[in-house]
Amino acid sequence: MKTSISTRLFLAVLSTALFVALAMGVADSWSFARGFLGYLNELAVARMESVEPRFVEHYRQQGDWVSVRGNPETWFELTRPDDDSEWPPEARPMPVSDLTGAVFRISLLDERGRLVMGFAEVGADAVRQPLQLDGRTVGWLAMTPFQSVTEVGGQRLLRNQLQASLSIGALAVLLAALIAWWVARRLLAPVRRVAAATHRLAAGDYGERVAVDSRDEVGQLARDFNRLAHTLERNEQMRRAFMADVSHELRTPLSVLRGELEALEDGVRRLDGESLHSLQTEVAMLGQLVDDLYELSLADVGALTYRKSALDVAEQLRIAVAMFRERLAKRRIDLELQLPERPLPVFADAGRLQQLFGNLLENSLRYTHAGGRLRIVAQEAAEAVSIDFLDSAPGVDERHLPRLFERFYRGEASRSRTSGGAGLGLAICLSIVEAHGGSLSARPSPLGGLWLNIALPRGAH
């Protein structure tokens, strides 16, 4: 039978409280009994010591214990309570020790330890007090201690004490039961809610959330669960969008290829240079998409290789811009490159930097209107090298800027392939920059288009 955590917690707290209460009751009863008997024995010893001078004086006068042996009247005179002038004889109270029978447990022994008068059963545990006269031991007074409470009043006191201990223990157990019930019901209720929500989350309900009504560890658990659920929900949305985007991006070039091939097969279109160029263009686009997806998958698992070395960012920019000058000129895009005279040293992979700059130049080439401008500025900034790509219209709405680096996302409203690629270029750029310990951000350009800023750490890292 499965037992809930609330039941186990309740039983654990209740069992602990019950054990502690019983242990305290037993220990209290044992301690009281021993203390009570010890108290009675101490009273008896004190009673014996109080009459010791009388026995010494009696021996001084008589010279032996003959007058005491077998003489109850003499024994009573020697063991009676001390006189108290404040009390009349008929109202004089008896000592507490006499009320407990101490006077009946006193024994008189001669100098050899033989019984003279009093309690006959003097054991080895009896408390012995020597009677000394002029430095000589003339006898012994012995007090046999209590071994158990036999006197009625003492038994009643012990019984009342035990009943009080049991009552207190029962009250403690009742309070422990109430506290255990409150803990199990109140403190574990949020845990049960998180457990139920986790079960629904595991079943695929990624919109599940739990209410956070505390700031303790349980509240932190609820907040962590909500963050986990949000992350899983977002990842699921991204997975579905990714599958839809990949299907869309693959379907378009494949459809074009199939249409071209069917046209060639049916004789609608002749196999000439133009048709071959169209097929080659679609195959190249399809190949580029596959390459980008493969590179992003490697970046996700950290398998992209980087061969870093000390190099000059300015020189790498000159090389990248030189490869795009002709294409930019064909679109009548004015290129402005601003580089400092001194080197801009970074510790990076030259090939990955060329890929980074190439993707950014390609992005500006695709999305900048003909006759526009592209400004590239590189400079030192604090502990980093700052590289800015600023292009002219069209711009990107500010609400789209945070999503520009998501895969398959385009800032434009349409998904026309004539003006853009698959939407993977900036995602690849971000992974390259982050692999170098830098950052990549986007904001509106003062030229009317998009402003992309790269910050790479200076020196060797």
> What are the tens digits of pLDDT across the range 355-365?
899 889 988 99
User: What value, to the nearest 5°, has the Cα angle with vertex 192 and ends 186 and 195?
Assistant: 155
* Dist. CA 38–CA 105, nearest whole Å: 15
In which element (H, E) is residue 132 found? strand 127-133
**Under CATH, which architecture does the 306-457 domain have?**
2-Layer Sandwich (3.30)
How many C-beta atoms surround the C-beta of residue 136 within 10 A?
Answer: 9
Residue 108 forms beta bridges with which residues?
A: 117, 141
Of the listed ranges 12-21, 78-87, 356-365, the least confidently predicted one is 78-87
* Half-sphere CA count of 395, side-chain side, radius 13 A: 12
- Name the burial class of residue 376, with classes exposed (0-12), middle (13-18) and buried (19+) by CB atoms within 10 angstroms of its CB: buried
Mean pLDDT of all residues in the chain? 80
Write down the pLDDT at residue 413. 44
Q: Give whichever of 36-45, 286-295, 429-438 has the largest mean pLDDT.
A: 429-438
In the structure, what pLDDT confidence band is assigned to residue 34 with cuts at 50, 70 and 90?
Answer: low
Q: pTM for the full model?
A: 0.48
Q: What is the mean pLDDT of residues 92-96?
A: 54
Amino acid at 376: I
Which CATH code is given to the segment(s) 217-299? 1.10.287.130
Q: What is the mean pLDDT of residues 441-450?
A: 92
Write down the pLDDT at residue 29. 66
Q: What is the mean pLDDT of residues 9-21?
A: 74
